[in-house]
Structures are given as structure tokens and as C-alpha cells.
Amino acid sequence: MNPLEATRAAGESRLAQFLPHAGADYTDWRNHDFGPNGDNHVSGLSPWLRHRLLTEEEVIDAAARAHGLTGAEKFIQEVCWRSYWKGYLERRPVHWHDYRKTLDEALTGIAKDKRQNQLLLNALEGNTGIECFDAWVDELIQTGYLHNHARMWFASIWVFTLGLPWAIGADFFLRHLLDGDPASNTLSWRWVAGHHTAGKTYLARPSNIARYTNGRFNPVDSLAAEAPAPPASDRPPLQPIPDEPDFELTETTGLLITEDDLHPESCFDERHWPLVMSLQTTGWRSPLSVSAHVQGFVADALVDAMARNPGVQALGPIDLVDTAASDRLVEPLQTAGIRTLVTPWVPAGPTADALAAVEPILSAAGIRLVKVPREWDVTVWPHATHGFFRFWKAVGPMLSERYAAFEA
């Protein structure tokens, strides 16, 4: 059974419940983690946002209208971090590909080192003897969620106290988090480990953990006292923002729904398609097994998205285990006379990898795959060139102007 209901309606309900708390309550208490059964003052919207059952733009809109941009600024900034990370990785997709290469190399290397391999197994099973870390492992596996502050502490302990490869830790998160996002997850782990900002790492301190867990944990003398930075590497060149493609919606145009954008009705005007196909690519997130919680959440969310986007024919969710399963896509599309398949833009990550593998197969069958970027992404991604606060310096005034009428 999934811990959360993977529907847009459930996300809207969660948003409505949280909105009264998106102002001062969130600002004052967002960094405190009172545990899986505690009254944490965060939105809990991330699983719906990650899969775009809810979009960043509509959540920002709701918060700004309820509290004004100033009143809900901290919450709105946190939502904008998601857009920033997506834009940053989209402009530097090499970081995703380097992460996957680093992960493969780390898994191969650690399997040959008996001591390191046992240390890894202890970490994955929550048997390190570090009380807070082991509790977070259990919480992650059982619920598919960790508070953002706990994620930072966890990653720091993984890298600097346990001395384990950061990429395997990032993969562990991506396999178990219901909100596991290739951009925010990969880049956050890179930041903790010192690969994102030259010379800067994140060190988890016992006093900080004790303060923000309300004394639930206080790992004195259990954690590394230093977090040495790795050698600096060159910044990869920026890639362009995707252009608006040239296409028409006709009787031979079908809709492809992916797990990266499950609200296509806000991207296209069409309300009844000749054919709607949904594609599950969760297995592409990792070379290891992805948790049943994550697989189930995505499968249910795809079903929900298809119900909101009816077609004369409905196919899926089709689980694209590998490219050998592509025949399951091509044959029904050809039978239905589909010549163009449109989908909301899929940013860098596993689903984009899957589509890159499938696209030549579709093309060879005479089917064009058209990926359509959202206006929000095209507007904010160009500003994801450096750190978040340079990004916010550009995006914040844009939002201030948009929501000026809602200031107290």
C-alpha cells in the first residue's frame, strides 16, 4: 500500500490544508524535524510537485494569493528551489550523466572492497550504530520521505563520517524517496559533498541536529569533525533553454504522459485526444531496484493523469523496463494512425534518458516525438546559471510585480 494517495485531487487537498500555514508558521518552523509522527511545519507537497501532479507555478500562485509574496516568501523560495535545480541541471545535463557514470564506477569499486562493502550494507540497512542516521534510514524506507534538514544531515554523515561514495547515497535516496527528483537530489548531494560550489561542503554538527530535532537526537562524538572539500572542477558550458517546437494538434496527434509531468491538461488546449499513452520509466532511476512505494506511487499517478486526459484510445501505463519494450509503444501507435506524439518537456534525468532511447525507434516507424516546454520553465530556467540567490534576484521581482495586489 502506498503511504500517500497519488492523485492530483489529493495534492490539491494537501495544498488547501497547508495554505493557512504557508506564512509565518512555515517561516519560523520549517527547519525543525520532529520525526515521522511529529507535527512538522512543512507542506508535504513534494511528491505531487516532483511529478507535477501539482506545478510549481500554481503552488506559488496559491501561496502568494493567500499571504502575499512577502508573507509567504520563505515557502515560495523553497518551491522556487525546485525550479532552480531543474533549470540548473537542464542547462548542465552533463552533471546527470557524470553522476550515473560515477555511480556505476562506485558500485563496481565498492563490491571489490570487503570492508567498504560491509560498511555500505550497514548504512543501507540502518545498522551503523549512529542513532539518528539509522532512524532516518528506517524512516526513508518505511515512508518514502525525509525532512529536508534530515536529508542534509544524512548526506553529510554518509560522505564525511562513514566515508561512503556520495553517488551511492544519492542513488539510495532516488530509489526510496516518493519525491526523488533527479535535479534536486543529484545537485543537493553534489553540494553536500563539495562538488557543486568550489571549496564548500556541508558538515552535520551534533548541536545543530539536537537543536532542530528538539533533542530527539544528539550524536555527540559520533560524527566527523571536518568535511574536507574535493579538488575544484571546471564548470561545464551552459546549454540552451528548449525552444517552443513547431507542431499542430490534429487527428493523428497523440498525447504521451510521463511520470515527470502528470498535469498535461495545463500544457495543451486539447481535451479529448485520438490516443493517450502513459509511460512508466521508474526503473530508469537506478541500476538497482527502486522501492515498491515509489513504483506504486508513480503507477497510480499515471492512472490518475490518464483519467483526467481522456482519449479515444487509452494505452498504459506501459512500464518501459528497457528499449526492448519499445515495440509495445510502436505497434499500437501505428495501428491508431498516430504520426505525432506530444508530451510536456521532460528535463534531464532518467525519463529523458528513456525517451532519448525510444525516440529513434519511434522516428524509424514514422512517428515524431514532440516535447513541449512549459512557459514557467522557459521563463525561469534562463536564470539558473549560478547560485540560487542570483536566480531569486531575477525571479523574485517578477513575482513581486505579478502579486503586488496581494500584499498586506
| Residue 373: DSSP 8-state | -
Q: Are the C-beta atoms of residues 348 and 96 closer than 8 Å to each other?
A: yes
Secondary structure of residue 239 in the 3-state scheme: coil
Q: Are the C-beta atoms of residues 193 and 155 closer than 8 Å to each other?
A: yes
Residue 387 annotated in ligand binding = no
| Residue 251: DSSP 8-state | T
Residue 234 annotated in ligand binding = no
Query: What is the Cβ-side half-sphere exposure of residue 348, based on CA atoms within 13 angstroms?
Result: 27
Grid coordinates representing 358 are 525510444
Of 40, 77, 24, which is closest to residue 391 (Cα–Cα)? 77
Of 86, 87, 71, which is closest to residue 24 (Cα–Cα)? 71
Residue 179 annotated in ligand binding = yes
End-to-end Cα spacing for the chain: 43
Burial of 272: CB neighbours in 10 Å, binned 0-12, 13-18, 19+: exposed
**Torsion angle in degrees (nearest 10) through CA of 196, 199, 202, 204:** 160
Residue 180 annotated in ligand binding = yes
Task: Return all residues near 348 (Cβ < 8 A) that are at least 6 apart.
Answer: 89, 90, 93, 96, 182, 183
Which residues make up each annotated binding site for FAD?
Answer: 26, 75, 179-181
Which residues make up each annotated binding site?
Answer: 26, 75, 179-181
